[in-house]
Amino acid sequence: MNIGFDGKTVVVTGAAHGFGRSIAMAFASRGAHVHVLDINAAGLDETVKLCGHDKATGYHLDIANREAVHQTIARIEKGAPEGAVDILINNAGGVRGQVGRPIEEVSEDDWRAIFDVNLTGAFYMAQAVAPGMKRRRSGRIVNISSGAGLGVSLTGIQAYASAKAGQIGLTRQLAHELGAWNITVNNVAPGFVRSNPTTERQWEAMGPEGQQRLLDNIALKRLGAPSDIAAMVMFFASDHAGWISGQVISVDGGK
């Protein structure tokens, strides 16, 4: 199965490291021009370098800022060959430096911070690209959730599990709303992958026994890599997935 994206305009959020960087590099290597977004300017510059300056453009952006999101998408569309974004990957997310705490200790600001990046930002991004996709009657939106959105979070962070579950609900709702314009909306739910500083800290905090328990609960008895997540995204974004929408695929080594 050959998958290519020659001439496609792709937007990837949370692209400064981990899944986002791997996804951006995969699109760039297949002929797309990738617009990479993140609040981490240094990491974003490195992603652009790895993709190739002729293949990627970086934007320092907080996706929880609706006005900034719409302005950035307008800039991207202005320079796009077809005047619209072809593919949106909502990858930005995470726990914002938080750790699991009893529910009574979680502040309003901490709750909102996680929802802003994992759910609200994905909504703003989809809202911004949808009009252009509708005009062209074509588009792909792929959201990156988590196994936490289908079950419980290993971190114990209530807002993270809730926001990822909400993003899965948003995926299904938008698939039905946008399907009439030939726009597909799907979701990839990764298992635990050592992909960024946060997951490295989580892995170390488990200790040898906890790490082994995690591996024992995976059918393939090993952790995956960011490239495994990127591979599923490539399929959802390709023409091969033209009649697939509203779906959630777990990429977790088997549970």
Lateral strand order in the sheet of 33-38: 56-60, 33-38, 9-13, 87-90, 139-144, 183-190, 248-251
As a whole number of angstroms, the distance between CA 248 and CA 223 comes to 20
Give CA–CA dist 242/133, Å, rounded: 15
> Closest Cα partner for 226 from 35, 8, 45, 50?
50
Listed in order, strand segments (DSSP E) in the chain are: 9-13, 33-38, 56-60, 87-90, 139-144, 183-190, 248-251
Residue tagged active-site, from 160, 171, 185, 199:
160
Compute the C-alpha angle 189/190/191, nearest 5°: 125
Cβ atoms within 10 A of the Cβ of 162, count? 18
Residues sharing a CB contact under 8 Å with residue 158, sequence separation 6 or more, in sequence order: 103, 106, 111
Dmax (CA) of the chain: 54
Residue 89 near residue 19, CB atoms below 8 Å: no
Does 160 participate in catalysis according to the annotation?
yes
Q: Are strands 139-144 and 183-190 parallel, antiparallel or unpaired?
A: parallel
Tell me the DSSP string of 106-159.
--HHHHHHHHIIIIIHHHHHHHHHHHHHHHHT-EEEEEE--GGGTS--TT--HH
- Active-site residues, by number, are 160
